[in-house]
Amino acid sequence: MGWFFLILWPLLGIRADGLFFAQTFSIWIKVVAACAIVLVLAQLHRAGRLEWVSRPVQALGSKVQAAYAVSPKWLLATIMLALAVAYPFLTSRYGQDVAINVLVYICLGLGLNIVVGLCGLLDLGYIAFYGVGAYTYALLSIHYDFSFWLSLPAAGVLAAAAGCIIGYPTLRMRGDYLAIVTLGFGEIVRLILNNWMSLTNGPNGILGIKAPGAWVPDFARGLSLEHVWLTRPKELYFVILGLAVFTILAVYRLNYSRIGRAWEAIREDETAAELMGVNTFLLKLLSYAMGAVFGGLAGAFFAAKMRFVSPESFTFLESAMVLAMVVLGGLGSIPGVILGVLALIALPEVFREFEMYRMLVFGGAMTLMMVVKPRGLWPAKRFGKRSEEE
């Protein structure tokens, strides 16, 4: 298998202007070196030479998961929340920015997780809902002077409506057709945002969106309330933290409800689920709408944070990135998705000098994960064999 990697590469080493090697060669050699290391590790692993590393790691992993399983959930939740609340007070502005990004992607990842992980429908146009949410808040804020907090539910509702519009014609299709059609819909949404000049100002985007506001008690002038704009990263962090906690709680509750069980039944075997009395069409539509809601909420926050939206932010690559996070972490598993987001957002920040290679690594990691460990870093507990056997 190793030599096939050699074939992958001649392309990467050449440049058209009279077969010019030097500059591209340096990039090429890095990629080759990384692939070679991965391959060698894989070979060693197969030969059992890595047991001195893999066994303790595996033991640690299973211990962590066992501890997670037995320790009371409220305790874990309190610790996590306390850490999350304390975080911005301990870090610099840069750290807060990264954390905001991570939390936005947690919202997106968990929303997509409902569709892909729980219901088993591959959605490649998920970022469209993020875009719908962002543009909803942007337009409401610019034209009607709506506050962020009022626009948030509006963004959620509109995204859910978009989810239903996209979901209704597509859900009768087979799995892989669904993937390509959602991809097409995602592109249609982006093209509309790009070309509907009178509404969205086209590729120039919308400027001057207001930040979220808040009323804080002002003790200087007695007990009056003072209105402030939350523009600093520290303040925005708490806004998105609230949204992320809401998302996690909502997805958790959904996952273990009647609806969540029905979704998982559909994922495992649609025909059997239908026979057991699950209204598959309605529930699939619901999974689309619910997934879209969280995308829309995250989108509204994105618009409020950047105070600028343009169609550039809602490309297919963005969809693929969110999908890569969900897949890497583990389809259908909430801690898995969070882990996946941390792995794909926070780690690249650590290796900043390799930023160019980010998407390359995303793609490679996605394929590698599917080949090596298709259920992700932190697999969901309830994941049947059925959907893997075909």
Partner 1 sequence: MDYFLQQLINGVTLGGIYALIALGYTMVYGIIQLINFAHGEFFAAGGYIGVIFITWLSAQGLHPYVCLGLSLLLSMLYCALLAMAVEKVAYKPLRYASRLSVLLSALGMSIFLQNGLMLTQGVYDKPYPTDLTQGGFAMGGVVVSYMQIIILVLTTVLLIGLNAMVFKTRIGKAMRATAQDKVMSGLVGINSSTVISFTFAIGAALAAAAGIMVGFYYGSVNYTMGFVPGIKAFAAAVLGGIGNITGAMVGGLIIGMVEIFAAGYLSSEYKDVFAFIILIAVLYFMPTGIMGENVDDTRV
Interacting residue ranges for partner 1, rule: CB under 8 A: 1, 4-5, 7-8, 10-19, 24, 27-28, 31, 116, 120, 122, 124, 169-170, 172-177, 179-181, 183-185, 187-188, 191-192, 194-195, 316-317, 320, 323-324, 327, 331, 356-357, 359-360, 362-371, 374, 387-390
If the CB atoms of residues 271 and 367 are measured against partner 1, the closer one turns out to be: 367
The residue (of 259 and 323) whose beta carbon lies closer to partner 1 is: 323
**What's the closest the beta carbon of residue 309 comes to partner 1, in angstroms?**
19
Closer Cβ to partner 1, 163 or 233, answer by number: 163
Q: How far is the CB of 140 from partner 1 (least distance, A)?
A: 25
The nearer residue to partner 1, 77 or 161, going by C-beta atoms, is 161
Nearer Cβ to partner 1, position 56 or 169? 169
- Between 206 and 320, CB nearer to partner 1: 320
Smallest separation, CB 194 to partner 1 (Å): 8
Smallest gap from Cβ 202 to partner 1, in A, equals 9
Q: In the 3-class helix/strand/coil scheme, how is the chain assigned residue by residue?
A: CHHHHHHHCHHHHCCCCCCCCHHHHHHHHHHHHHHHHHHHHHHHHHHCCCHHHHHHHHHHHHHHHHHHHHCCHHHHHHHHHHHHHHHHHHCCHHHHHHHHHHHHHHHHHHHHHHHHHHCCCCCCCCHHHHHHHHHHHHHHHHHHCCCHHHHHHHHHHHHHHHHHHHHHHHCCCCHHHHHHHHHHHHHHHHHHHHHCHHHHCHHHCEECCCCCEEEEEECCCCCEEEEEECCCHHHHHHHHHHHHHHHHHHHHHHHCCHHHHHHHHHHHCHHHHHHCCCCHHHHHHHHHHHHHHHHHHHHHHHHHHHCEECHHHHCHHHHHHHHHHHHHHCCCCHHHHHHHHHHHHHHHHHCHHHHHHHHHHHHHHHHHHHHHCCCCCCCCCCCCCHHHHC
Output the smallest distance, CB 13 to partner 1, in A.
7
Which of 108, 125, 116, 132 has its CA nearest to residue 344?
A: 108
Residue 170: CB minimum distance to partner 1, A: 7
- Residue 246 Cβ, how far from partner 1 at the closest point, in Å? 28
For the bound state, the minimum distance from the C-beta of residue 342 to partner 1, rounded and expressed in Å, comes to 19
Residue nearer to partner 1 on the CB measure, 124 or 262:
124
Nearer to partner 1, 97 or 268 (CB): 268
